[in-house]
Structure 1
């Protein structure tokens, strides 16, 4: 059992694969096939390429503010991969790899960052909640969904994502306390990327780890190397198994790094050094996985280039679709809020149309 060997107060980090792609804890290597490993790798590449394209489109003025995921691909893909179809995902806003792993279409994700709220729509069978930008507010939703699953006797697990900054919000503590008291099947996945916008982890909390916060709420916590996709998969899979057995919630701290800016409106050079970033680039989760796959004869350099090229083309085609059809229809701004428009929204829509007519813009 992973959690028994990695108590959060011991401050030891769970790792299966080192930075050079070597398996250092074979006893914890997850039972996944070579085909599944390749699928995970391709999802990380797709996440990276979609990120790079989005950053380019934003800088060209073709997309609105964007939150990059570069450096956090293993934490996202590895944690979402063990989800079953009936499970729930409650994201914040920096979960591109998790969304793609879960089956969300890149077109819809791009549509959201393009400024069209319909990009928040996810097919019901995916069971993914919309993007939540207010920090930590969605954690109570996750606890509530998990509680509902328990009350209904359903074999469902909920995973929710948040950053290290969210642990300073009251919603985090309320959700953790509720989940612990009612022993609901939820996994709290903290992507500790070392910065909450410009606030470094070191002054976010005096706790030596975020994982140890789990103890105050009566649940297991574990510190995991967030750039090790095998460690992420193994830890989350065990947390899911615990939840399905009725053993309650878990807090997982994925220790990783945000290589890019908080969003495209942020300048990280103002609060961190280039030397620090370069140090973390050497721990790149994709490079680590690539080294492992190549050492095992599962991947060749030629195949790798094809995967990258294909991922880039998928991203380009997705954005072509968005640019061709993604402009927001005026009525959608008002109709999107509820199944049926309220009298107040109907009145506001009429007023705004009249305003546009006066300006000659209708």
Structure 2
């Protein structure tokens, strides 16, 4: 056999059920990881200056000011509600400190028709879409004006009006659900996509991998946004995975992916804007890894100083703050001033304090709401549970003042 024919037989492409492949005579294992990390897309440096040669979407003064105002509002909302929890006025809270840019910039890059399936650190999307501070307060206090009728934990927001699917505690369950919804949009030929969020900890769940594979196979218009903030509660990323972060996982499932500086508003906005266009026009999933840092504790049930140094937290809070960085940029453009800053903060603080006062004084949902919305006709077991609960309240009225008299 001549050398040319032997070469043809060795390297010709042959069909298998999994696709065409070529043969080689050498034994080659794929490397477990590349020596060079995937680069991170960035537009603004730490001083709020555009990096020379940056490829990004231009923002108008109106949109830029709204983004910054929403970031400040989110920051203040977190501070006030966190303090309310510490005062015992609400049972639980969780902040977005350090990740305001991912929240607000991604929301700004989307259409109101795009459906959001959040994890639990995305209240900024609702804020951007018009969810009021009073509505946030009603949910956290679980009063009769809470859309969840007081049956959810605080911060488990949801709004059909704003295409924001209600938050739930189990990690990553929303990811496969997002793919299913995205596939329905595709079947209906809608000019919209689904955007779903998770943290780096969520990528350790099986649902993350199932969702990526599901979306790639069905070619669903869904954008996965992973907030890689370094910590899954107290578990550092070095103890979660050996790969180069999250972005490399997209390629394994056949999904276009990008790594972006999650503390850079212009980079996040531009990346999500482009990802959305790809998802809809090309009918494909896209994975976005946003690198950031969770400045606050995981939640009010956590003390992050027990597992990470305080000076590390302070460094990210002061030196790498996404709100401060974007403020420098809007100020450099002449769109912001100290006077506007003072007016905004005074206005938001006033709204927050008033909203909390109203929410706290608003009565709780009626007891029957606890058993409604599941069955058209309540089955015997639910009727029995309601009876037992009412009897308990009757025996201990001092513990259930909002439900007495029955």
Pick the TM interval, shorter chain. over 0.9
**Residue 42 (structure 1) aligns with:** 69
Q: Is the 8 A contact 1:143 1:175 kept in 2?
A: yes
Larger Rg: 2
What do residues 66-108 of structure 1 show as CA deviations (whole Å, max 9, x unaligned)? Answer: 1111111001101111221221000111112122112223333
Tell me whether 1:231 sits opposite 2:267 in the alignment: yes
Tell me how large the CA RMSD over aligned residues is.
2.0
Q: TM-score, normalised by structure 2?
A: 0.83
Tell me whether 1:82 sits opposite 2:113 in the alignment: no
Question: For the structure 1 residues 186 and 42, does the alpha-carbon distance in structure 2 shift closer, same or farther, using more than 3 Å as the test?
Answer: same
Q: Is the 8 A contact 2:182 2:222 kept in 1?
A: yes
Mapped partners of 2:377, 2:179: distance in 1 = 28
Shift of 1:121: 6.6
Mapped partners of 1:240, 1:72: distance in 2 = 20
Within the candidate set 300, 306, 315, 1:270 is matched to 306
Q: Is the 8 A contact 1:111 1:326 kept in 2?
A: no
Shift of 1:328: 4.0
**Residue 5 (structure 1) aligns with:** none
Q: TM-score, normalised by structure 1?
A: 0.93
Question: For the structure 1 residues 307 and 360, does the alpha-carbon distance in structure 2 shift closer, same or farther, using more than 3 Å as the test?
Answer: closer
**Residue 127 (structure 1) aligns with:** 163
Within the candidate set 208, 211, 216, 1:172 is matched to 208
**Residue 220 (structure 1) aligns with:** 256
Tell me whether 1:109 sits opposite 2:136 in the alignment: yes
**Residue 14 (structure 1) aligns with:** 41
The 5 Å alignment of 1:181-192 reads 181-192=217-228
Shift of 1:246: 2.7
What do residues 112-157 of structure 1 show as CA deviations (whole Å, max 9, x unaligned)? Answer: 3334543657443311100121110111111110011111111121
Q: Which moved more, 1:317-326 or 1:261-270?
A: 317-326
Question: For the structure 1 residues 27 and 121, does the alpha-carbon distance in structure 2 shift closer, same or farther, using more than 3 Å as the test?
Answer: closer
Mapped partners of 1:159, 1:52: distance in 2 = 27
Mapped partners of 1:84, 1:317: distance in 2 = 30
Shift of 1:265: 1.2
**Residue 94 (structure 1) aligns with:** 121
Within the candidate set 232, 244, 263, 1:208 is matched to 244
Tell me whether 1:118 sits opposite 2:118 in the alignment: no
2:243 match: secondary structure = coil
Q: Is the 8 A contact 1:114 1:326 kept in 2?
A: no
Question: For the structure 1 residues 341 and 89, does the alpha-carbon distance in structure 2 shift closer, same or farther, using more than 3 Å as the test?
Answer: farther
Q: Which moved more, 1:344-353 or 1:109-118?
A: 109-118
Within the candidate set 306, 317, 328, 1:291 is matched to 328
**Residue 279 (structure 2) aligns with:** 243
Mapped partners of 2:134, 2:375: distance in 1 = 23
1:153 match: secondary structure = coil
Mapped partners of 2:363, 2:117: distance in 1 = 25
Question: For the structure 1 residues 337 and 113, does the alpha-carbon distance in structure 2 shift closer, same or farther, using more than 3 Å as the test?
Answer: farther
Mapped partners of 1:220, 1:334: distance in 2 = 45
Q: Is the 8 A contact 1:17 1:25 kept in 2?
A: no
**Residue 351 (structure 1) aligns with:** 388
Gaps of 5+ in 2: 1-35, 151-155, 399-403
Gaps of 5+ in 1: 1-8
1:126 match: secondary structure = coil
Q: Which moved more, 1:124-133 or 1:350-359?
A: 350-359
Mapped partners of 2:204, 2:72: distance in 1 = 32
Q: Is the 8 A contact 2:159 2:165 kept in 1?
A: no
Question: For the structure 1 residues 269 and 121, does the alpha-carbon distance in structure 2 shift closer, same or farther, using more than 3 Å as the test?
Answer: closer
2:46 match: secondary structure = coil
Mapped partners of 1:254, 1:338: distance in 2 = 41
**Residue 4 (structure 1) aligns with:** none
**Structure with higher helix content:** 1
The 5 Å alignment of 1:249-264 reads 249-264=285-300
Shift of 1:329: 3.1
Q: Is the 8 A contact 2:158 2:167 kept in 1?
A: no
1:156 match: secondary structure = coil
